[in-house]
Amino acid sequence: MSPSIGQGTTLGKARYTFGGDEHVFVEISESMSLPAFFKSMAICTELKKRAVPGVTEICPANASYLVRFDPDVMDPDSMMRCLQDIEASVGAADMDLQTRIIEVPVLYNDPWTHETLMRFRERHQDPTSTDLEYAARINHFKTVDEFIQAHSASPWFVSMVGFVAGLPFLFQMVEQPRQLEVPKYLSPRTDTPKLTLGHGGCFSCIYSVRGAGGYQMFGVTPAPIFDPAQGLPYLKELMVFFKPGDIVKWKPIDRHEYDTIARDVAAGTYQLPIRPVTFSLTAFWADPDTYNQELLQVFHGH
């Protein structure tokens, strides 16, 4: 899947397929784009509003979505016709999204991912460089600091949550030529530290738990994003924090700030900075850089 911002993207008719007797899978587009993502979100939102009998789960993804339903309540053909009717009703007015912006602290170039990446250099494209050094070089930045600035200066959309519990996939809200691209490891690692900030292709992610993985490792956040115990204020509502449509601003921090937040997390008092916002795809397309800066103004003075 080749991601893009997609201002000129023309979306054709979605492709519908059945998944057994209980699922309909709908592919909005073969490639990732903001129009495809927003159309998927609009359809899923409308489906939820209609409270269609028999629907048990709605799972949006990057440029598609999956609906699970009870075939004893709604037969598969009727379910598909319902989704096709919703698709036909979605228009330009649905390209606005009521969402939230989250400022996520990141310790780039941290000691834990560095130790891990050094253990797995034989699986990497460039065993002589760190993941950040490699990413900076292939994206034509002179230094790692310049790359980190480019990575953290613009917001990122959460396009889907999955793979493991609570893991968000994010793509950068800049024009396609400026999107940062880094291939995954040649073969996956058997270890990745919990809360690693990773990158593969055009997508960023946060590893919600420790485990295997193949994305390049840029740093770690001290802020948990998945907690079955729901011990932190921002996880009281749901043990999985991120939702598709969330907007993330990476905030570079130093080791002292990391340790301070980690102590607050351990004490159960840490609160991620979260602000409500209405995102307009039309306004974003008119001037992406200016619109992004206006979005991020919500954190100034707080």
Residue 175 and residue 129 share a domain: yes
Q: Is residue 6 part of a domain?
A: no
Residues 146 and 62 in one domain: no
Phi–psi pair at 249, nearest 5 degrees: -115, 115
* Residue 110 forms part of a structural domain: yes
Question: 217 with 150, same domain?
Answer: yes
95 DSSP assignment: G
Same domain, yes or no, for 111 and 259?
A: yes
Residue finishing a domain among 90, 117, 143? 90
Contact 142, 133 (CB under 8 A): no
| Domain coverage including residue 275 | 98-299
10-residue mean pLDDT profile of the chain (302 residues): values are: 50 87 92 83 90 93 91 94 91 75 98 97 96 98 97 93 92 88 97 98 95 97 96 95 95 98 97 94 89 88 50
28: CATH: 3.30.1360.40
Q: What's the pLDDT at 3?
A: 47
For residues 121 and 225, membership in a common domain is answered with yes
The three state secondary structure string of 135-186 is HHHHCCCCCHHHHHHHHHHCCEEEEEECCCCCCEEEEECCCHHHCCCECCCC
Distance CA 287, CA 12 (A): 25
SS3 content of the chain, % helix, strand, coil (to 5): 35, 25, 40
CA 232 to centroid of chain Cα atoms: 21
Q: In what order do the strands lie in the sheet with 55-60?
A: 15-19, 23-27, 64-69, 55-60
In the block, tokens 């492709």 appear at 15
Residue 232: predicted pLDDT:
97
Domain shared by 22 and 123, yes or no = no
How many domains in the chain?
A: 2
Could you tell me the two tokens for 260? 């301070």
Do 33 and 137 share a domain, yes or no? no
| pLDDT in the model for residue 188 | 96
Could you tell me if 122 and 222 lie in one domain?
yes
pLDDT score at 6: 52
